Amino acid sequence: MKKLFLIWCFIMSVGGAHASLMTTSTETIDVGAHNSNFSGNVRGFWFTAPVDFWIVGIDVPTDASTANFATSILRLPSVPPSWSSSTNVYDILFEVRNQATAISDLAIKVEMGDVIGVLGNRGDVNSYGTSPYTSSILGNSVALTRFGTQNVISSSASVAGMGVWTESGGSISRVNLTISATDPSVESVPAPASLPVLLLGLCGLLVARRNTKQA
C-alpha cells in the first residue's frame, strides 16, 4: 500500500508540473499572400464567425507599405450590402489610427454567427489579396470576402457613420487578426509554479504521519 501511495504522489506531482507549464494558445487567421497594392480608400474583409473566439491582437502586413497603420473591427447585424449600396449600421469593436506596431492586448469576444468586418491599411495603401479567400478559425473553415468603405480612415476621428459594403470578387485588404479560443484575461493568470512542490510536500507529510502511526 505504501508503494502504491508513493506512485500516486509521483503521478500527481507530474500532473501539477504539466499544469504549471501551460501557456496561452493563440493563432493568426490566414489572409493569404500579398498580390498587389491599392492606394486611397480603405478596404478589408468580412466573415461570419464559425465558432466562439476572442480577438487578442491585430496588425497590418508591411508588404504594401511600412508606414503606420489604421484599422477598424466592426460587428454588423447581417451580411453587408453589395456595392453600390452600403450600410452604416454596425458596432465598432475596435479602431486605431497612426499605429506603428502590432497590438497584442485586445480582448474582443466574438460569438458564433457574428458578422465581423475588418478594415485596415498602412499609409493609406492596401495590401491586396485574393477574394473570397478560404481560411480557417480554430480549425473551422471560413470565407474572407471583400469589404470596404469609400473613405480614408487614417485621418478620420472614427469610422462611425461611414458606409460599408461588400463585393463578391475583387480583392481583400490583408489585416492580421490574432485569436484565442478562450478569454485572454483568464489565460493570463498562470497556474502556480510551486504546485508540484506543494503536492510533493503534502505527500511527504502524509507519509511521515503514516510512519508515525506504524511506530
User: What would the pLDDT profile of 101-140 be if each residue is shown by its tens digit?
Assistant: 999 999 999 999 999 999 999 999 999 999 999 999 999 9
Q: Residue 3 — pLDDT band, cuts 50, 70, 90?
A: low
Calculate the dihedral angle through the C-alpha atoms of 95, 36, 142, 106, rounding to the nearest 10 degrees.
-20
Question: Domain boundaries in the chain?
Answer: 2-24+199-214, 26-180
Query: Would you state the pLDDT for residue 18?
Result: 46
* 63: pLDDT strictly greater than 80: yes
Give dist(CA 161, CA 150) in Å, integer: 12
Which H or E element spans position 135? strand 133-137
* 17: pLDDT strictly greater than 50: no
The topology under which CATH files domain 26-180 is Jelly Rolls (2.60.120)
Beta bridge partners of residue 69, listed in sequence order: 99, 122
Q: What is the mean pLDDT of residues 72-96?
A: 99
Q: What is the mean pLDDT of residues 205-210?
A: 56
Query: Would you state the pLDDT for residue 210?
Result: 61
Query: Would you state the pLDDT for residue 214?
Result: 56
The alpha carbon of 64 is separated from its chain's Cα centroid by a whole number of angstroms, namely: 23
Cell numbers representing residue 130 in the block = 485574393
Query: Would you state the pLDDT for residue 22?
Result: 45
| Average predicted confidence (pLDDT) for the chain | 87
Cell numbers representing residue 2 in the block = 505504501
Q: What are the b/e assignments for 93-111, b being 16+ CB within 10 Å?
A: bebebebeeeeeebebebe
Query: Would you state the pLDDT for residue 53?
Result: 99
* 212: pLDDT strictly greater than 60: no
Do residues 60 and 127 touch, judged by C-beta distance below 8 A?
yes
End-to-end CA distance of the chain: 16
Secondary structure E strands in 40-132:
43-48, 53-59, 69-76, 91-99, 108-110, 115-122, 125-130
Tell me the pLDDT tens digit for each residue of 155-199. Answer: 999 999 999 999 999 999 999 999 999 999 884 545 455 555 445
Do residues 119 and 173 touch, judged by C-beta distance below 8 A?
yes
Q: Residue 20 — pLDDT band, cuts 50, 70, 90?
A: very low
**Phi then psi dihedrals of residue 63, to 5 deg:** -65, -40
